[in-house]
């Protein structure tokens, strides 16, 4: 088991390999579909983003309301492919990694390799357990989106698996003579 902390430097990202199990500590930004759309609209318009993306990780999650005494409620991952249309501009803007569940498109895999980013898989179906790894939470922007706003979560030992590493290697593929073939 490897341990990594935020912000995730290029060097730390390069040290990870597809399939590595990691405990992540530090800041995770949360964002889902609508927040991604708005961030990309800012970029297209040439506006400054309302959040700092450089060397950060976006966790594809919309945290549930916090029960008494906790910073957040359930915070399980959402399907990552829903963010594929927005991923390349955010990687270009300095995003170091993403976390969610499921496969990514070939375009996103190539962009992860190009921008030396990392895609992490979070354990699905464990939202209540993952919430116990959150020590603090605050909303950063897009309050009108409710749980789909961008939040900053401070986490300790948040469990991830490296799904796609900086070289574009993916746990969803096997490598044969330099060509990726999807596992059946």
Residue 43 phi/psi, 5-degree rounding, is -60, -45
Residues in the chain: 184
Cβ neighbour number for residue 15 with a 10 Å cutoff: 13
DSSP letters spanning 34-51: HHHHHHHHHHHTTPPPSS
Burial 127-156 (b: 16+ CB within 10 A, else e): beebbebbeebeebbbeebebbbbbbbbbe
Kindly name the residue from 16, 28, 35, 36 that is annotated as catalytic: 36
Active site residue 36: yes
Tokens of 180: 């990726």
- Residues carrying an active site annotation: 36
């Amino acid at each position: 088991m490897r341990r990594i902390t935020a912000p995730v430097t290029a060097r730390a990202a390069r040290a990870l390999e597809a399939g590595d199990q990691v405990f992540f500590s530090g800041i995770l930004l949360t964002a889902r579909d609508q927040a991604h759309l708005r961030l990309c609209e800012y970029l297209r318009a040439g506006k400054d983003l309302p959040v700092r993306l450089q060397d950060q990780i976006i966790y594809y999650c919309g945290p549930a309301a916090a029960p008494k005494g906790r910073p957040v409620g359930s915070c399980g991952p959402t399907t990552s492919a829903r963010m594929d249309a927005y991923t390349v501009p955010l990687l270009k803007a300095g995003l170091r990694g993403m976390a969610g569940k499921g496969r990514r498109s070939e375009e996103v895999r190539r962009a992860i390799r190009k921008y030396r980013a990392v895609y992490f898989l979070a354990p699905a179906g464990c939202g209540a357990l993952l919430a116990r790894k959150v020590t603090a939470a605050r909303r950063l922007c897009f309050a009108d989106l409710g749980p789909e706003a961008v939040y900053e979560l401070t986490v300790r030992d948040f469990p991830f698996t490296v799904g796609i590493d900086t070289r574009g290697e993916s746990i969803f593929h096997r490598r044969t003579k330099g060509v990726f073939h999807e596992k059946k």
